[in-house]
Structure 1
């Protein structure tokens, strides 16, 4: 089984899975919101659009659509019932309709929406080109097709401080199957190759602060890919990893830990 989502991923051969909405909110939902706010400011969409949020996960980005875009309707699609259940509890997203579905076979007719977006999803889509064509199919002429994704091959991923030290120790942490699609040039090729017009890209940089290192460590070990991988390590190796990451991310005078992440974003229009 391969499932694709903002908050839930099951890629069996890679050992990757996100299916706990509450844990995902702490690990990645906050990061997603930080980047998503800049992304939506860049899109600058008019009010009253019909949106589809593909790979909506626990609804972190769906919530932003209601806060910032005054949509006429929003539909979220995700393969994880657990993540969708969490999304439905968000007060800001109660007007959204959430559906269990696949990014490469969206359960909607052609030209159903005015805007289609993916938040942090495309690297998990086994066939990114097929996923983009599905976005194009369900959006009407002149509509928006856009995404943002962590720049995972150039050190932009929020979990890189941990993953980098794991690799330095000779470990091979699970990784998404389509890392190459996180590059700006790969995104541009996908967008232009699908026939979209007025294609533009940009880089999004964000920063997040944790109360201290223990706050950072505890949050990032909740569920997902890193927690199980570290739990399976020998006690001494896990302690070594923690020490290496602590040295990599020095705290400020108050003990707070702040660092940044970087995403690549792209947008285009369906030809009229």
Structure 2
């Protein structure tokens, strides 16, 4: 399996998305209905937003955390001091666990970056015991991420490369209403439910918003990294203008919606 997510440094990802993943983790855990004592699999753990939130929210028995990126695995290991957590590099489409070995398999902000998302759902179902839960959440890039769409729509107005980025970004897998729910049903899960989770992304100023993207983190950063110096300067100025929106630079807050889905293993 490959991943379409672009990461250079763990701290860059943390500023780009990890801090917002931590805000999304508690409502996602509540929706997933994790219970005390359970053995939980965190698929695509990133810098540990869900992994560590589980410890703060529920008295879980054990957490196995995996990620395709060794950068993320090393970061979670560096911050972990709880013996209930085990972390390893692994493929979401070929999970290195026996069948029926977890009470819940969770994937927070992962499936839209997995080219074979249906296979990952199938693997999550395989490793969950009968009656256990598979749950996932992804951002609604098309209609639910005002701050990111601000940048996307701005660069799309500047040229064809930006328009192509928007077409890819807004229609990644699992993001359309009902799409992930249908994938769960097609994957053999029962009692499938879908909902929306809302958090806000609060920035201190434009630098706080733009720094990880300018440094090349994530799909938006990857796009910026491919621009020539003149195009990049134009994009920098245009996105800053969109962020400031005619007012002095300073704090801005954007609403962000994630689709969340859960189903029960037969």
Using the TM superposition, name which of 232-241 and 43-52 deviates more.
Answer: 232-241
Using the TM superposition, name which of 72-81 and 18-27 deviates more.
Answer: 18-27
Contact 1:62 1:93 in 2 (8 A): no
TM-score, normalised with respect to structure 2: 0.88
Distance 1:29 1:180, change over 3 A: same
Q: Does 1:107 align with 2:101?
A: no
Alignment equivalent of 2:233, drawn from 239, 242, 261: 239
TM-score, normalised with respect to structure 1: 0.86
Q: Does 1:212 align with 2:205?
A: yes
Distance 1:126 1:176, change over 3 A: farther
Deviation at 1:237?
2.5
Using the TM superposition, name which of 160-169 and 244-253 deviates more.
Answer: 244-253
Q: Which residue of 1 aligns with 2:60?
A: 71
Alignment equivalent of 2:19, drawn from 30, 37, 60: 30
> How do 1:82-97 residues align onto structure 2 when only pairs under 5 Å count?
82-91=71-80, 95-97=84-86
Using the TM superposition, name which of 157-166 and 135-144 deviates more.
Answer: 157-166
Distance 1:178 1:209, change over 3 A: closer
Using the TM superposition, name which of 224-233 and 214-223 deviates more.
Answer: 224-233
Measured in 2, the distance between the counterparts of 1:254 and 1:126 equals: 38
Distance 1:69 1:91, change over 3 A: same
Measured in 2, the distance between the counterparts of 1:184 and 1:36 equals: 21
Deviation at 1:126?
1.7
Measured in 2, the distance between the counterparts of 1:253 and 1:228 equals: 28
Q: Does 1:133 align with 2:122?
A: yes
Three-state SS of the structure 2 residue aligned to 1:181 is coil
Q: Which residue of 2 aligns with 1:6?
A: none
Q: Which residue of 2 aligns with 1:153?
A: 142
Alignment equivalent of 2:218, drawn from 210, 224, 239: 224
Q: Which runs of 5+ in 2 are unaligned?
A: none
Q: Does 1:43 align with 2:35?
A: no
Three-state SS of the structure 1 residue aligned to 2:23 is helix
Measured in 2, the distance between the counterparts of 1:178 and 1:133 equals: 22
Deviation at 1:45?
2.1
Q: Does 1:195 align with 2:188?
A: yes
1:7-28 deviation digits (Å, cap 9, x = unpaired) = xx4x4xxxx5224222111111
Q: Which residue of 2 aligns with 1:162?
A: 151
Q: Which residue of 2 aligns with 1:173?
A: 165
Distance 1:231 1:103, change over 3 A: closer
Contact 1:122 1:178 in 2 (8 A): no
